[in-house]
Amino acid sequence: DWPAAANAKWKALHALYEGFSSGDHPLHEDFNSFRHSGGEALENIRR
């Protein structure tokens, strides 16, 4: 059942993203440092 699997995957990834992007995750600052050190090229990849 691919639609159900895709929906479950989306919900799980969304929950992980929300938890991480809130800033409470211990690796949040490391991730922001990685983004800033990569500069504009790295930021453009995510768009």
| Dist. CA 31–CA 37, nearest whole Å | 10
Residues 18 and 10: beta-carbon distance below 8 Å: no
pLDDT interval class at 47 (50, 70, 90): low
pLDDT over 70 for what percent of the chain?
96
Residues 18 and 12: beta-carbon distance below 8 Å: no
| Mean of pLDDT values over 18-46 | 83
CA-wise closest residue to 18 among 29, 28, 6, 8: 28
